[in-house]
Amino acid sequence: MEHAFGDIIQSTLELICRNARKVLKSEEFTNLRLDCLIEIIQQDSLKVGNEIEVFEAVYRWGLAECARRSLDPSNPENLRFCLAKPLNYIRFPLMDPEEFTLVVSSKKLLSLEESVELLTTFLVPAERRKLLPAGRFISNPRFYITDPGNGIFIGRKFTSSSRQVQTVFSRSGNPNGSETITFKSTHALILKSICVPKALFQTHGPSYVYSYTSVKACVVASSKGFASNGIPCDESDPNVLGIPLNPPIKLGTEGKLTLSFSGKLSFHQTTSNACSWTSLSLGDVFPSDGFNKVVTNYGNFLNVADFEGEIQIERPPWHGLPLNCGIIEMLEFELA
């Protein structure tokens, strides 16, 4: 019974996350209990366009909570009292600096110290923010599934606080450094990009500096017999390696897609001369020894029920790896 109850809660949360934009704007949202509010806004898979939408919903909840407590909401101290816990779960570092200034700062809910911390964060380019000391607010990106004008994103979230990269045995002999997925959609799809974690390539740990300039990706889509080799990777994000597909791949409504890598990885110690790079073949990063270097704590791909249709991404039954293992973290589509 307890297990069934947990399944119901999880299913309800998934439904809320898929319809988050409607839920956050609803009148019922302002009547939630505090613990339910926090449970919703802390979800990585909350489907919103940006973090401002989350803040505005929480702000509305705070106004309603002030009314329930007979507090004057025009007094920022009263609002801050009611929102003391929820504010900790809003991912302010993900916001656009201009929107933060116009929408958040004007509400005077954050302390001077908190505002200075966030403004300092905004001054640092996104790819270098990992060099900053850990801040008060959560900065992990949400898995936004739709973002108007920027396509349709479907991703996996890891089931603990960080990715766990390990080497596991593949029963079917799946080539190391590759992954195959199947897709099925009610609409014809175009694949624009793929993202994989950089941690898969960091053979000497995060204390080394890595260059991915000579890393090349190969994407094979069986639905159209398409193969794209030697795709230069975008390494601007500190955590993931982006694979932009130019031109994008027309996939149709269902089929199979395989991602693999070739080329070389370069690295050097952070304390050494930046000119003394060492190169390593991708065949050595992902050796053909019957084992696969993968992230081992992924959840399933988030299935989308939106845009009057559905996209489902799964693992072929013959793939040989557990469902929680893989290298593909995010896919970007648009409708054909």
Return the top range by mean pLDDT from 49-53, 103-107, 140-144.
103-107
Q: Determine which of 1-5, 28-32, 153-157, 312-316 has the lowest per-residue pLDDT on average.
A: 1-5
Q: Quick one: pLDDT band at residue 66, thresholds 50, 70, 90?
A: very high
- CA dist., res. 259 & res. 331, Å (int): 11
CATH class in words for 2-131: mainly alpha
Q: What is the pTM of this model?
A: 0.60
Higher pLDDT, 330 or 59: 59
Using the predicted structure, report yes or no on whether residue 144 has a pLDDT greater than 70. no
In terms of Cα–Cα distance, which of 96, 14, 9 is closest to 49? 96
Task: Return the pLDDT at 2.
Answer: 43
Residue 145 confidence (pLDDT) above 50:
no
- Express each pLDDT in 161-187 by its tens digit: 678 888 888 777 678 889 998 888 888
Can you give the pLDDT at residue 55? 96
Topology given in CATH for the domain delimited by 152-335: Jelly Rolls (2.60.120)
Give the pLDDT mean for 68-85: 94
| Helix, strand, coil fractions of the chain, as percent rounded to 5 | 30, 30, 40
Sign of CA dihedral 125, 162, 319, 330: negative
Confidence of residue 39 (pLDDT cuts 50, 70, 90): very high
CA distances (Å), 264 to each of 40, 138, 215, 258, 318, in order? 42, 34, 5, 20, 29
Q: Tell me the C-alpha distance between 22 and 18, whole Å.
A: 9
Please state, rounded to an integer, the average pLDDT across all residues of the chain: 82
pLDDT per residue over 185-222, tens digit each? 888 888 888 989 988 998 887 778 888 888 888 888 87
pLDDT single digits (tens) 217-276: 888 887 665 566 667 777 777 788 888 888 888 888 888 899 999 888 888 877 655 567
pLDDT band for position 314 (50/70/90)?
confident
**By percentage, how much of the chain surpasses pLDDT 90?**
26
Answer yes or no: is pLDDT of 146 > 50.
no
- Taking the domains of the chain in order of start, what are their residue ranges? 2-131, 152-335
Q: Cα separation of 32 and 257, whole Å?
A: 42
CA distance 65 to 218: 53
**In this predicted structure, what is the pLDDT of residue 58?**
97
Residues 6+ apart with CB under 8 A from 297: 158, 159, 160, 163, 164, 324
| Nearest-angstrom CA–CA distance, 138 and 307 | 29
Residue 305 pLDDT > 60, yes or no? no
